[in-house]
Structures are given as structure tokens and as C-alpha cells.
Structure 1
Amino acid sequence: MQMVWSRLWCALRSCLLGISDSVSGKVTFPGMESAGWLNILIRQLWPSAEQYVNELCRTTIEPVLRSALEDYKLKSFRFEEITLGQTPPKLTGVKVYDDQALAEIVMDLDFEYIGDCKIRASVSELTFGIEDLQLTGRLRIVMKPLVKDPPLVGGVHVLFLSKPELSYNFTGTANVLDLPVVKRLFHRAVEEQIEELMVMPNKLPIQILNSIDVADFMCPVPSGVVRLHIIEAENLAKKDFGILDTSKPDPYCIMRIGLQNFKTETLRNTLNPKWDACKEYVCSSDTRFGNKIHFEIFDHDRLTDDDFLFKTHLEFQEIWKREIDTWLPPTETNNSGRLHIKATWYDLSDSADSLQIQLEEMCALQLPTKKPLHSALLVVWVDAAKNLVSRHRIRKKGEPDTFVRVRLDDVKKKSTVRERTNNPVYREGFVFLVRNPWTQKLMLEVIGRKHERQLGKVEVDLNSVLNEPKLEVRGKEFELQGDAEETATLKLNIILRILRKAVAENNESIATE
């Protein structure tokens, strides 16, 4: 099926590329093809997209924005009207990755929207408008799963590879939203929600076929985990100069993948720091395409801004399914020094027999790095709850607004709020790294939003999941313990995977030309 998709894509592109080049007459950036023909399609489809965009905004974006804005004391956010206008988004480049081993298609698009849409919304009993919306960035579309029947694709995942540039203006109000402080709060809340919704590693899933498994589509099991070890740097430059200043820099290193950042400790007075710092990143199957791991080193200053010393990067493709130990040179010619890193890829095993080997390796590495490492990965799918009416609310009218808090030791995550229902459907997934499944417990709490009151909880010993076939519990309704009725349940999928060092693959994936 993947080969069929590739051939269809190549044929369609070959037919339309000549037309688009003659229409657009533009030169694209290296590595990206002309997207003129895609812009023709978008212009034709744009008038029909308004209903879908309205539904997406109201069902997906509005609830998370409402919840986020309440943290800033801006209540009851809702979209009153959304009109797309006549100006569609523009794609200035496209790149399709070809890998026969994957049952998916990965496409990158240079996305630019400077449109004439009109949005009317309300918050805290104030109605206002949003116009002059501009959004630019590199957009990734992952088509998966591929199926045998039309339309041949079960759904798509949409994400930005890095934080997009966003700007807009408020209209129609001359009160609280005109205040600079409130504007900044609102803008930051919107930015945070875009990041949480669809900036790597977060993805916006759009289901096309109802027949596909919702849990596997919305929250698929990742492809693996990469363990990055920032070992040391040498021959860094000295930025602070003075007649009596003989001190050396106090360097620290920041590592960045998409939204995920990791900072080492700051070492004092050295041009050759040895950090021995480890960080693990969860990776999906499309992570390797077109992504880089960025490293930057700074000199910590107590009285002024930190001085930049060095930056470099590593192509994610270089560490896919393998282990490397290398010195990275600077990416800018005016930098001096180099950075020593080690990267190890771990596949995910559904066999409990792999656990002891990984625990022994993890313990050996933790001694020099002094940071907690992990032996396993946990995927938790929160499907739905039933009968949440609590005993103390039986005599009262109204149904609760609830969310689920998922906790593994000190790591906490929570679902979107579901409003006014005793039988909320959450359908959200969460991924955790696990230090030791033999000793850790997963805690889930159903919380009433109004008073942050716990309506019920479920506690799962991960050791019990190790005894399940393929380390999976699917579609099980757990009884909620606590203030809820005795019949209250929470339906979950719990999938455990053990980290296992990968064997290098010989076949490489390349971008189509």
C-alpha cells in the first residue's frame, strides 16, 4: 500500500508540477519543491472549508482555550462567529519523504497564512473580534493509517516542527482587553495552546474513517526513545575580557528538540566543562525526517545577560536505530570549541524479559550522570467515565464539569475538561517514561473542576501490567474509588513497553526528488 501511495503521489506531482511552475514562476528553497499546484487545490477547496474549520475550532480548540484562559482569570471563552474570508493559506514549498518500511506518508509544507478571516469571540462577558491574523511556519502532515479502501487514508496528524510565528489584532472592544497586560496574557494563553495542540512533539489528530481504532490513532505507541548524553565540551571561547579579569566562563548547555528543552548544570570557571548529563526523548516514527537536535552553550553571568559561546546541531536521521559517540563541530565559523555527545536509540519491546537487562544498563549509567533514567515507557488512554454523580450531589441539580488527572510519581498530566455530564467521554492519551515498573504505580483521579474535588480514583500497580499478554490492558473499566457512586467506572487502555537497545538498520529513508 505504501508503494501504491508513492506511485500515485509521483504521478500526480509529475502531471501538476509543470503547470504550477508556469503559474507561480517562483524559486523554492533548497530541499523543498514548488507547491504551486497545491495552492491551486487549496484555492478551490477554501470556500468549502469554513464548516469544517468552525467545527474544529468549537470542538477541539475552544474547550482547551477556555480551560487555559481560566487560569488567567478570563472566564467562559467561546467562539461566537468564524468566517474564513476570501484569502486562503499559501504553501511556499513541499517535501515528501519516502520510506517503504512505514505504513504512513510524511509531508512537510512551508505554510503561510496572511488572510482576511473574521473571528468574533467572548470571554468574561466581553465580546471582541480578532482580525489581521497571520500564521507562518513549517507544517508537517502525517497520513496514517493507510487502508485498502477509499479514501485509502484513515486519518492525518498535523503539527508544526517548531513554534510558528503568530500575530493578530483585537477589534470591537475598548475595555479590559485593550489593556496591554491582559492582551499579553491572552496572547500567551493562545500561544501555549497552539504549542500543546500541534507543535512537535504534540500533534493534532484528524480522524477520517470511523472504522479505525480511535485509541491507536489518537495516541499511537511511540517508535522508540533516544537517550542523549551530553558528555563534555572543550576549547570554548572566553567572552568576558578585562584588565584584571583572569576568570574563565561558567558554561552550561541547552539541548532542544521541538518544544522539548533540557539544560545541564552550570560549571564554574572552565573552558573544558564535563557535564555527564543525560536526557531521554520519546520519538514517533516521523521524528527522524527533517528534524535536528540543537545544542547551545552559554556562559552564565550573575549581573548581565548570559553570553553565547557555541552552537551546533545533530541530524536526527544520524541516530535513528543506532548508537553514536562523536564530537560535534560548531555550526558557525566564528565559534570555537567542540561538543562531545553520545546518543543511543532504544526500540520498545512488549516482552517483560527485556526489563532486567535495561535496569542493569540504566543503573550503570546513572552513577556518572546523577540523573534518573528510565527502563520503560507507558501509554495511558483515558476513554470515558460512567456514573460520576457523587453521593453528596444526589440531592442537588446539575451535572459536574470534570477532568482526569493522570500521575506517575511526581509527573502529572491532565485531560481537557468535559462539561455538565456524569458520563464524560475524554478520549485522550498520555505518555510517561517509567523508571522501574516493578515498583511504580499509576494514579488516575476524576476531578470536579468547580472546587477541584476528587470524585473518584483508580490506582494501578505497573507490576501487574508486566503479567499481561504483550504488556497491554485494553478497554478495561476500572471501578472508581472515592466519593463517586459504587457503579462509577473509568475505561482505560494501559500499554507498557520496555526499552531495548536497537540494532542498526542498513536501509536509509530519503526524500523524494
Structure 2
Amino acid sequence: MLLPLAFQRALRAEDIGTFTISVQVVKVTFPDMESAEWLNLLIRQLWPSAEQYANELCRNTIGPALRSALEVYKLKSFRFEEVELGQTPPRFTGIKVYDDQALPEVVMDVDCEYFGDGKIKASISDMPIGIEDMQLSGRLRIVMKPLVKDLPLVGGVHVLFLGKPKLSYNLTGTANVLDLPVVKSILYRAVEEQVERLMVMPNKLPIQIVNSIDVADFMCPVPSGVVRLHIIEAENLAKKDIGILNMNKPDPYCIMRIGLQNFKTETFKNTSNPKWDACKEYLCSSDTRFGNKIHFEVFDHDRMTDDDFIFMTNLDFQEIWKNEIDTWLRPTESNSGSLHIKATWYDLSDSADSLQIQLEEMCALQLPTKKPLHSAVLVVWVDAAKNLVSRHRFRKKSEPDTFVRVIVDDVKKESTVRERTKDPVYREGFVFLIRNPWTQKLRLEVIDRRRTERRLGRVEVDLNSVLNEPKLEVRGKEFDLQDSGDEEERATLKLNIILRILKKAATETNERVAVE
């Protein structure tokens, strides 16, 4: 290395005494997201070939869901006619790949924006409409899983937005119905809801690449864990508006946000130090802990005007995954107020031996919070039905339009409608939090949508029976549909039922930290 000229002269000088070298240290920081030009080149080459997949996705997945959503507003017979992606592909402005070789998957985040020239042609109530001038931007997560040993080395891809993307578009068409602002707002909201249900966290869009992987495990994987969050209290909250009756103290409540999932505490009156003691549990996939935060917002309730924002703060998922958290969170942009929370990550066990311990812990926590907590996770995969028969008033058989309603206590979830077939293939999964598998039941109802939602049959399963199964799993079993009303052919519903028990183990947490 060559020394500066002045420094060399000083070293050659005979009368050199002492000298001082001043070194300035410059801190170099690396951006969180790296350049993604290589990915933009790849997408540009693949874009012309993606149009067929986009058409199939709109017609087979988004179309039926939009049709059901719009029928609530008496807008019937929605369908996609044609999807043109145009010449302009989406652009990725940054990329980050998370390094964790312990996981059998690759997790990648990309900042994407799309200002495209694509056009979508559709119809509603037999009137043509169009969607064009689409703009979309947000942070997109791509999870490559499972990793397989044969080429292309990746069995499939899960795609999701970490938060609600910014989405705008124009509706066109000759239908006079689009001139009505109310109808336009219904269509806009229906499209936004379907985007959220399709691929905004925790929802994911699965894209299967190879046929050799298990479809049920890929489309509806068992969660990696459950985070139990306890909003205990806040202190030193500032009053945002001073009224005659409220004096100088707020009426605070807290909202907790994780992706699309929100939870609101009760509102306490006239206090700067509320003690909420509120618990909420969230299902987490294996990639949740990467780059995700839990957001807390505290508001001052006002009966006359909009509620006033007091402060916000957040907690990194990675911190919860490492250790059990019991801390006071300071506001991100305010000097007053703080929030006391506890957070615990629970792994999921396939052994029934963990249940009693979890039930005891759950009961102890429920006493102060007065909120129902859970001891287990239930995954239900609805594969297919056979020999479904619908009869109208003249007793004539017809092929029904059916969906499956999955029920645990008062929680109901529904599959997409499969039209005009007696042997529908649903291939959809549903996940529930369970309080006590010893006492709760799983119910499924097959509904004919065309016959004023007439039930074509039902299945009822005691979850206690699943606890006796190896690894707490029932896979590929065809259950007879009760009350199917057809004695000639047996109607069945093919299901996977998987139970997992919440388990907190300090040794497992320490092992995770050691690996990292």
C-alpha cells in the first residue's frame, strides 16, 4: 500500500520528532434490500408465457370467489372472459433472501411495483365490463417449499404480500350499471377483498411446480407455531382532546395488527394507566418470523368525533421466536406513554401427552384475562366428495352446485363453490384454534347453493377420537355423509384431519438460539 506523499516526506526528514496520525473511521451500512435487476430480466423473459396461468387463476380461483361475493349485492353471473397481461411486466426494486439453512425452504422478500398495460375482460349479469390501467405496489414474499432432491429442486412456491398492497384500476364497459357510484364501490371493494383473501398475510397463493409433492401438505401446511400475545397494561398515556366531562384523562384502547389480522382490547374510561389484561393468539407459518413485526396502536376513544391516536409501537417476530418476552414497549414517534406486553412462541406437538400441561396453563391465564384461549390447532383438508345428489320438488335428480361448510363451535368457514357436478373436487384446507380437543367436535356440511342452500349431507367427528390416532392424524379417509337422502349410492366426503398440541419447551428455544 502506497503512503501519502506528505507522510513519506515526514519519514525522510532528519529532524523528525513526534508526529500524530489522525484516522477518520467511516461507518459503512449495507441496504436492507439489494438490487434486483437480474430478477427483472428474468421476469421480462417469462412474462409472455405467464398469460395462460393468469387466465386459469382468474377463472378457476378468483372468479368463483368474486361471483359469490357479488351475489350478496344481487350482482349475479360474474365471470372472466379474457385476461391480457400486456407488454409491461412488474418491476422489482429490491430483494432480500433470509439465511436459515435449518429450514427446508427458501424465504425471499421483494419490493414490487406494477404499472401495466394489461386488460381484463369480464361480464356481470350478462353485461360486459373491463378492468384496465392497473397499478399495484407492495412488499411481496416468495417462499420456495418444499425443497426436493430432483430438478427443479423446488416443489412449489407460496406467494403473499406482507401487508395490504396499494391497488388501483379503472372499470370500463358499456354497462350503465357502472355509472352508479354505489355499484362501482361494491365492485372495487369486492376485488380488494379477494386480493386480500388470496395473498395478503396470513393468506398465501400456492403455486405447485412438481406433481410428486403431497398436495394437501403444500396447499394447506400445518402451522409452524402459535404466538400468544398478552397486552397487560399501559401507563402515562396523554389525553389528546380535553372535554368538560372527561377532564384530562383519556379513554384508551389498544389495537394489535399482524397482516390482515386485527385485535382490539376493551376501552377503559378516564384513565392514563389502563390495565387491559387481554390475550390473543396467532397462527404462524415457518416464515412468519422473518421480517415481520407486530404493530400496536393506542387510541383515545371519543363519542362525538373520530378517536384520537395516542401512540404506536411494534415488536419484531424474531425476538419472540428467540425468547419469551415480558417488556415495556416505548412509542416509535412519541415521548409519552408505554405499553406492557408479554409474548410467547409455542411449538406444535404431534403427541397427546402435551395436552394436559397446556390445558392447565391455559386455565391459569384465562382467569385474569377472561378471554378464551386455546390448547391445540386443527387442520382440516377437504379433498373431494362423491355421489352428491340434489332433488327438486318433482324428485328429479340434478347435478348440484355445492360447497362445504366447516364448523367448530360457532366458527364457520366455507369452501369455494364447485358447479354442476355430483363428484366435486374441492382441495381446500382450513385451520382452527381449539380450546379442548377432549370435548369439542368438528362438523362439516355439504350445501347445494342452487337449492336455497339445502344441506346434502353432513359429517361429525369427535376430536377426542383423533387424539388416539398415530401422530394425531387422519389422512385420506372417506366419511359417509349422514342425512344424504340417497339409498342407491353412498355419498362420501374425503378428508384429512390433523391435530397439533401447543407446547412451550425451554430446551427447544435454547436449541433454536444456539443454531442461529
What is the TM-score normalised by the length of structure 2?
A: 0.91
Whether contact under 8 Å (2:443, 2:461) holds in the other structure is yes
The C-alpha deviation readout for 1:385-443, integer Å capped at 9, x for no partner, is 00011466894253100000000001100000000000000000000000001110000
Q: Which runs of 5+ in 2 are unaligned?
A: 1-28
Residue deviations 1:8-49 (CA, integer Å, cap 9, x gap): xxxxxxxxxxxxxxxxxxxx9930001111111111111222
Q: CA, structure 1 residues 235+260, in 2 after alignment: closer, same or farther (shift >3 Å)?
A: same
Q: 1:397 to 1:229 in 2, by over 3 A?
A: same
Deviation at 1:55, TM superposition (A): 1.6
Do 2:127 and 2:175's aligned partners in 1 also have CA atoms closer than 8 Å? no
Q: Distance in 2 between matches of 1:478 and 1:254?
A: 42
Alignment partners' CA distance in 1, 2:479 and 2:397: 26
Alignment of 1:354-373 (within 5 A): 354-373=354-373
For residues 31-70 of structure 1, what are the structure 2 equivalents within 5 Å?
31-70=32-71
Is the 8 Å Cα contact of residues 98 and 510 (structure 1) preserved in structure 2?
no
Distance 1:389 1:53 in 2: 33
Residue equivalent to 2:259: 258
> Residues 341, 379 of structure 1: CA spacing in aligned structure 2 closer, same or farther, 3 A cutoff?
same
Q: Offset of 1:241 from its aligned partner?
A: 2.7
Distance in 1, matches of 2:297 and 2:172, equals 40
- Give the superposition deviation at 1:63: 1.5
Aligned to 1:456: 457
Query: Please, what is the CA RMSD of the aligned residues?
Result: 1.8
Tell which structure's C-alpha radius of gyration is larger.
2
Using the alignment, how far apart are the partners of 2:445 and 2:318 within structure 1? 39
SS of the aligned residue for 1:176 comes to: helix
Query: 1:421 matched to which residue of 2?
Result: 421
1:460-499 matched pairs, under 5 angstroms: 460-486=461-487, 487-499=490-502
Aligned pairs for 1:126-165 (under 5 A) are 126-165=127-166
The within-5 A match list for 1:277-316 is: 277-316=278-317
Paired residues of 2:228 and 2:279 also in contact (CA < 8 A): yes
Task: Judge conservation of contact 1:391–1:483 (CA < 8 Å) in 2.
Answer: no
Higher relative contact order (CA 8 A, sep 6+): 1
**Distance 1:180-1:299 versus aligned 2 partners, 3 A rule:** same
Q: Deviations over 1:261-296 (max 9, x none)?
A: 000000011000000000000000000011000000
Contact 1:99 1:510 in 2 (8 A): no
Name the residue aligned to 2:338.
Answer: 338
Change over 3 Å in CA distance of 1:430–1:253 after alignment to 2: same
* Cα distance in 2 for residues equivalent to 1:51 and 1:412: 34
2:458–2:482 CA contact under 8 A, matched in 1: yes
Q: Note the C-alpha offset of 1:74.
A: 1.2
Is the Cα–Cα contact under 8 Å of residues 99 and 509 in structure 1 kept in the other structure?
A: no
**2 CA distance for matches of 1:78 and 1:479?**
34
2:10 aligned partner: none
Distance in 2, matches of 1:505 and 1:261, equals: 30
Report the Cα distance in structure 1 between the residues aligned to 2:403 and 2:143, rounded to whole angstroms.
Answer: 29
Report how far residue 97 of structure 1 moved.
0.6
The alpha carbon displacement at 1:325 in A equals 0.4
Write the deviation string for residues 329-357 of structure 1: whole angstroms up to 9, x where unpaired: 1100x341110000011111111111110
8 Å contact kept, 2:347–2:502: yes
Matching residue of 1:121: 122
Structure 1-normalised TM-score?
0.91
Q: Is residue 347 of structure 1 aligned with residue 347 of structure 2?
A: yes
Aligned with 1:98: secondary structure?
Answer: coil
Any idea what the Cα deviations from partners look like across 1:124-147, whole Å, max 9, x if unmatched? 111011110111111101000000
Shift of residue 322 of structure 1? 3.0
Query: CA 1:186/1:243 → structure 2, altered by over 3 Å: closer, same or farther?
Result: closer
Q: Calculate percent identity across the aligned residue pairs.
A: 82
Q: Where do 1:18-33 residues align within 5 Å?
A: 30-33=31-34
Q: 1:377: how far off?
A: 0.5
Structure 1's unaligned 5+ residue stretches are: 1-27
CA separation of 1:242/1:462 partners in 2, compared to 1, >3 Å: closer, same or farther?
A: closer
Change (3 A) 1:448 1:378: same
Q: Distance in 2 between matches of 1:509 and 1:115?
A: 46
